[in-house]
Structure 1
Amino acid sequence: MKLRPLGIEGAWEITPQQHGDSRGLFLEWYRFDRLAEAVGRPLRLAQGNLSVSARHVVRGIHFADVPPGQAKYVTCVRGAVLDVVVDIRVGSPTFGQWESVRLDDVDRRAVYLEEGLGHGFCALTDDATLSYFCSTTYDPAIEHAINPLDEELGIEWPTSTPLLSGRDAVAPSLAQVRAAGLLPEHATCRRHAAGRDTEAPGGW
């Protein structure tokens, strides 16, 4: 398993080692100890989600208030997606920037993003299936969305016909969310991350 930090602080690409033969294959797609060693703290596992999307579906950009925020560990178990991480932390040196990683059922990479980062993806195939762990349970009272087609963000989605949910289609721009005071502060996110260094491995 190889862990590579992305250009946005708090976001990582994970590439597992696959062991295959004529019977099939085996891989470790998540290791709490390897992740904790790389990022400096364990991922607290509070909820597991499965998302199935048709080709051209774009979901995001979603984020939660910090604290508590919601860290995610995402992989694609069927088909392929372009997974996108957006730095929406006010005061971050990479504020407003985004990075993408192709997640698919061939290389079987994963993406980890810590609390305070925005997340979205575009399905590159039909029945694209994401499986992901979350550090907190879903709470609609602290969940927010930024329009994934926001021109200021300028995300290069690999589709000319993006299919959005009703919520995402009418979501405000990054500038509007910032003006409303809903974006997390970079300093707050860093303090929040540092405060979890003493949690038990795996978060159980």
Structure 2
Amino acid sequence: MIIKPRDLAGVYEIDLSPVFDSRGYFKRVYDEEIFKSFGLERHWIQENHSLSVKKGTVRGLHFQFPPFTESKLVRVTKGAIMDVFVDLRIDSPTFGGWDRIELTDDNHKMIYIPRGFAHGFCTLTDSCEVVYKVDNVYSPQHEGGLFWMDESLRINWPVTNPIISNKDAALPSFKDFSSNHGGIIVN
């Protein structure tokens, strides 16, 4: 397992480094001691699994307001996605910055996203399965989101005409989020 920081503070790319033999491979997807050595001590309380049937499906950009902000540990078990995350931490030097990573069932990578980020993804293949751990409970009263194609963020998505839920299509812009909330103070 190789963990390396990304450009946005607190985000880590994790290479699961499978060991292959004639039977297939073995890979460790979580090791508390290794994570602890990077300061990534989290108490994971939920693991979620989503299936997106069609290529070009966009989910997000989602987050939860305090006190229900959540860290995520995201990986793909089938297919491929472009995973996107936006820094909403008001005290962060990269506030409003975004990054992305391709996660596939073949590249054996995960992404660790700390509290205070909006998160979403676009499927690059049909039948994508995404598994992610979170370290806080889901609270419908505290859910928030940003419009996936917000002009001010200029996220370089790999799709122009996505399959998207009505709820996600109606999410506010980053500008509206900033004027109404300023940002997120991570708990």
Q: TM-score, normalised by structure 2?
A: 0.95
Give the C-alpha shift of residue 5 in structure 1: 0.7
Q: Distance in 1 between matches of 2:67 and 2:4?
A: 26
Structure 2 counterpart of 1:83: 83
Shift in Å at residue 120 of structure 1? 0.8
Q: Judging by fraction of residues, say which structure has more helix.
A: 1
Within a 5 Å distance, the mapping from 1:13-52 to structure 2 comes to 13-38=13-38, 40-52=39-51
The residue that corresponds to 2:184 in the other structure is: 184
- What is the distance in 2 between the residues matched to 1:41 and 1:13? 12
Give the structure 1 partner of residue 58 of structure 2.
58
SS in 2 for 1:168: helix
Q: 1:183 & 1:59 partners in 2: Cα distance?
A: 21
- Give unpaired runs (5+ residues) of structure 2: none
User: Aligned with 2:181: secondary structure?
Assistant: coil
Q: Which residue of the partner structure matches residue 4 of structure 1?
A: 4
- TM-superposed CA distance for 1:65, in Å, is 1.3
Distance in 2 between the 1:174 and 1:145 partners? 9
* Distance apart, 1:30 and its partner CA: 1.6
How far 1:182 moved relative to its partner? 6.5
Determine if contact 1:50/1:132 at 8 Å carries over to the other structure. Answer: yes
Separation in 1, partners of 2:152, 2:181 = 17
Query: Secondary structure at the residue paired with 1:176?
Result: helix
Deviation at 1:118, TM superposition (A): 1.1
Indicate conservation of the 8 Å contact 1:66/1:115, yes or no: no
Whether 2:135 is the aligned partner of 1:135: answer yes
Q: Percent identity over the alignment?
A: 34
Query: Partner amino acid for 1:51?
Result: S
Q: Unaligned 5+ residue runs, structure 1?
A: 193-204
Counterpart of 1:48 in structure 2: which amino acid? Answer: E
8 Å contact kept, 2:68–2:137: no
Q: How does 1:99-110 map to 2 (within 5 A)?
A: 99-110=99-110
The 2-side partners of 1:135 and 1:153 are apart by 27
**What TM-score results when the alignment is normalised by the length of structure 1?**
0.87
Deviation at 1:109, TM superposition (A): 0.3
CA apart distance, 1:159: 1.3
2: CA distance between counterparts of 1:109 and 1:71?
Answer: 17
RMSD of the TM alignment (CA)? 1.3
Asked if 1:160 is matched to 2:156, the reply is no
Number of aligned pairs?
186
8 Å Cα contact 1:87-1:94 kept in structure 2: yes
Q: Give, as a single letter, the amino acid of the residue that structure 2 aligns with 1:133.
A: K
User: After TM superposition, where is structure 1 displaced by more than 2 Å over at least 4 residues in a row?
Assistant: none
